[in-house]
């Protein structure tokens, strides 16, 4: 029973265009969401987060949108750069419980 789903295993985008990575969740109690980025041979690194009291959080080229009614969040990267090529994990949590991760989406930004 997967509580956090990233239904697209991979995504290819041209350099300069927008990358949109999607994440769906089933537990309506989740109140905190995070995105992590992972390069090969490295550990995941935190990218951006959003609390359930917000519907948008922006940090430079990265914006996360949260649609609570649809139980959906998305990460927008604008403009996409070749260095953004990585695996992106969505994670969610509620209260004092551990993060639940999705399976990841591999983003390839083509020059």
Partner 1 sequence: EAQVTQNPRYLITVTGKKLTVTCSQNMNHEYMSWYRQDPGLGLRQIYYSMNVEVTDKGDVPEGYKVSRKEKRNFPLILESPSPNQTSLYFCASSYGVNTEAFFGQGTRLTVV
Return residues touching partner 1 (CB under 8 A): 6, 9, 32, 34, 36, 41-46, 49, 89, 93-99, 101-104
CA terminus-to-terminus distance, the chain? 38
Q: Which residue's CB is nearer to partner 1, number 34 or number 109?
A: 34
Q: Which residue's CB is nearer to partner 1, number 15 or number 52?
A: 52
Q: Which residue's CB is nearer to partner 1, number 69 or number 96?
A: 96
Contacts of 53 (CB under 8 A, 6+ apart): none
């Amino acid at each position: 029973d997967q509580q956090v789903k990233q239904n697209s295993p991979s995504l290819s985008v041209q350099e300069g265009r927008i990358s949109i990575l999607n994440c769906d969740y089933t537990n309506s109690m989740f109140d905190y969401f995070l995105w992590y980025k992972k390069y090969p041979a490295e550990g995941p690194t935190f990218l951006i987060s959003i609390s359930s009291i917000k519907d948008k959080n922006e940090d430079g080229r990265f914006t996360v949108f949260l649609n609570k009614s649809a139980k959906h969040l998305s990460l927008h990267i604008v403009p996409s750069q070749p260095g953004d090529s990585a695996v992106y994990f969505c994670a969610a949590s509620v209260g004092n419980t551990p993060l639940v991760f999705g399976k990841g989406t591999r983003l390839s930004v083509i020059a």
